Amino acid sequence: MNSRELPRRLLDRLATAHSVLVFTGAGMSAESGVPTFRGAEGIWSTFKPEELATMNAFLRNPQLVWEWYAHRRTIIATIQPNAGHRAVVAMEKLVPHVVIVTQNIDNLHRRAGSTTVYELHGNIERNYCVKCGSPHQPDAETAPVGVPRCASCGGLIRPDVVWFGEMLPEDEWNAAVRAANGADVCLSVGTSGVVYPAASIPSIARRAGALHVDVNPEPGPLSEAADEFIRGLAGEVLPDIVGRLEELRSRPNITEPEKGL
Ligand code: OAD
């Protein structure tokens, strides 16, 4: 049963939408057990980003940075996509094009079954060589202790995630901007919206004509800029939205008064 009040214009727009873009951040995975970055219990309240998430930090202390990402990879491997991830997968049956643009590196959208996912900040399950750029898949069974080295050139292996000061992956960014320009609705979910250029995706979509709706338990810069704000958890609000959309899409479209009465 859906008891949450959802904005009328979101439901109206979704009922006929051809393309929905879902822009996600760490809050999307919070209910799966992945900590967010900001806030009292966020990762950046305990660790300094410049000591763990920059190329300089890696070159200064590769072991520390590698182990931190190895630890996060272990946590992520044990958790599961949540009801929010599953809801956006279900949306694919109701809307012709559903595109996920995510800042998350945890791979949970793909694991849940979303078809089109653009990862603006990389993916923790991939690694590459800092010297020759070759991809590298460490073998958990035979991995040596310490930072792995490239089999072809001996360079250090790093996680394929975007660190502070680095460019976003060009193909993913271009695809995300194209999707934003073609979206009828943009749902931003679980992001503080403070890390650019990723955070500009909802405003690109809105300028191109999309209705922008922000979903978050707390208001922030994106909710202020959005057309509508739904206060709540991703794992509750998204299933509500998809439930209402199912009802709307299954309802016959009555365009003229019924005849013969
Ligand atoms: P943040 O940690 O900055 O923000 C998480 C947001 O999720 C906050 O606005 C929370 O209020 C919200 N939130 C928490 N629980 C939620 C839930 N269950 N449902 C919905 N929302 C919830 O994370 P991001 O915005 O993703 O970049 O951070 C952006 C980037 O900053 C990250 O990709 C990462 C970080 O530094 C890099 O590593 C390059």
Taking alpha carbons only, the member of 256, 257, 254, 244 closest to residue 17 is 244
Query: pLDDT tens digits, residue range 166-218?
Result: 999 999 999 999 999 999 999 999 999 999 999 999 999 999 999 999 999 99
Q: Is 29 in the pocket of ligand 1 (CB under 6 A)?
A: no
Residues forming the active site = 121
Atom of ligand 1 nearest to the CA of 44: 36
Q: Is 24 in the pocket of ligand 1 (CB under 6 A)?
A: no
Q: Is residue 217 part of a domain?
A: yes
Decide if pLDDT at 242 tops 90.
yes
Does one domain contain both 129 and 208?
A: no
Q: Is residue 19 part of a domain?
A: yes
Q: Is residue 173 part of a domain?
A: yes
Structure tokens at 37: 């970055």
Q: Is 34 in the pocket of ligand 1 (CB under 6 A)?
A: no
Q: Is residue 216 part of a domain?
A: yes
Does one domain contain both 148 and 70?
A: yes
H or E element at residue 102: strand 97-102
Query: pLDDT tens digits, residue range 114-161?
Result: 999 999 999 999 999 999 999 998 665 445 568 999 999 999 999 999
Does one domain contain both 133 and 153?
A: yes
Does one domain contain both 87 and 209?
A: yes
Q: Is residue 27 part of a domain?
A: yes
Cβ neighbours of residue 197 under 8 Å, at least 6 residues apart? 168, 173
Query: pLDDT tens digits, residue range 146-155?
Result: 899 999 999 9
Handedness of CA 125, 131, 132, 133 (dihedral sign): positive
Q: Chain centroid to CA 12: how far?
A: 25
Q: Is residue 240 part of a domain?
A: yes
Does one domain contain both 92 and 28?
A: yes
Most informative mutation of 191, 201, 215, 218 for ligand 1 (most atoms within 8 A of CB): 191
Domain containing residue 138: CATH number: 3.30.1600.10
Amino acid, single-letter form, for residue 52: L
Contact indicator for 157, 150 with CB cutoff of 8 Å? yes
Does one domain contain both 145 and 177?
A: no
CA of 193 to the centre of ligand 1 (A): 8
CA of 68 to the centre of ligand 1 (A): 19
Please give the residue range of the domain that contains residue 133: 35-78+124-161
Closest residue by Cα to atom 22, ligand 1, is 27
Q: Is residue 259 part of a domain?
A: no
Query: pLDDT tens digits, residue range 37-93?
Result: 888 778 778 888 778 899 999 999 999 999 999 989 999 999 999 999 999 999 999
End-of-domain residue from the set 106, 135, 161: 161
Q: Is 35 in the pocket of ligand 1 (CB under 6 A)?
A: no
Q: Is 195 in the pocket of ligand 1 (CB under 6 A)?
A: yes
- pLDDT tier at 7 (50, 70, 90 boundaries)? very high
End-of-domain residue from the set 161, 187, 217: 161
Q: Is residue 258 part of a domain?
A: no
Does one domain contain both 222 and 102?
A: yes
- At residue 51, the pLDDT reads 82
Does one domain contain both 117 and 53?
A: no
Decide if pLDDT at 256 tops 70.
no
Does one domain contain both 86 and 131?
A: no
- pLDDT tier at 11 (50, 70, 90 boundaries)? very high
Does one domain contain both 176 and 155?
A: no
pTM over 0.95: no
Does one domain contain both 103 and 150?
A: no
Atom of ligand 1 nearest to the CA of 105: 33
Does one domain contain both 10 and 130?
A: no
Look at the chain and report how many structural domains it folds into: 2
Domain containing residue 214: CATH number: 3.40.50.1220
End-of-domain residue from the set 102, 137, 161: 161
